[in-house]
Amino acid sequence: MSISIRKLVSKYSLTQSEEIVLTYILENLDDVLDYGVRKVAKDCFCSTSVVMHLAKKMNLKGFVDMVYHFKSLTSKNHENHEFINYFEKNHTKLEELKKILETSSNEAIYIMGNGFSKIISRYFQERLTKHGYLAFVNEHLELLETPHTKSPLAIIISESGETKYSVKQLNKCIKNDIKVISFTCNIENTIQQNSFLNLSIENSAYIKSLNTDFNCFFSNLIMTIDALMSTLESKCL
Query: Residues 7-63: pLDDT tens digits?
Result: 889 888 999 999 999 999 999 999 999 999 999 999 999 999 999 999 999 989 899
Kindly state whether residue 129 falls inside one of the protein's structural domains: yes
Average pLDDT in the chain: 85
Last residue of a domain, one of 41, 74, 107: 74
Identify whether residues 147 and 214 lie together within a single domain: yes
Kindly state whether residue 54 falls inside one of the protein's structural domains: yes
pLDDT one-digit tens code per residue, 147-178: 665 678 999 999 989 999 999 999 999 998 89
pLDDT one-digit tens code per residue, 189-212: 999 999 999 999 987 654 444 444
Identify whether residues 173 and 199 lie together within a single domain: yes
pTM assigned to the model: 0.64
Q: At what angle do helices 63-73 and 48-57 cross, to 10 degrees?
A: 50
Kindly state whether residue 234 falls inside one of the protein's structural domains: no
- Expressed as residue numbers, the domain containing 162 is 87-229
Identify whether residues 61 and 99 lie together within a single domain: no
Give just the sign of the alpha carbon dihedral 79, 81, 84, 85. Answer: negative
Q: How many residues does the chain have?
A: 237
The predicted structure's pLDDT at residue 162: 92
Identify whether residues 198 and 136 lie together within a single domain: yes
Kindly state whether residue 79 falls inside one of the protein's structural domains: no
The predicted structure's pLDDT at residue 155: 96
Kindly state whether residue 80 falls inside one of the protein's structural domains: no
Question: How many structural domains are present in the chain?
Answer: 2
User: How far apart are the C-alpha atoms of 131 and 233, rounded to whole Å?
Assistant: 7
In this structure, what CATH number is given to the domain that contains residue 158?
A: 3.40.50.10490
pLDDT one-digit tens code per residue, 125-149: 999 999 889 999 988 777 777 666 5
Identity at 99, one-letter amino acid code: K
User: How far apart are the C-alpha atoms of 214 and 168, rounded to whole Å?
Assistant: 29
Kindly state whether residue 150 falls inside one of the protein's structural domains: yes
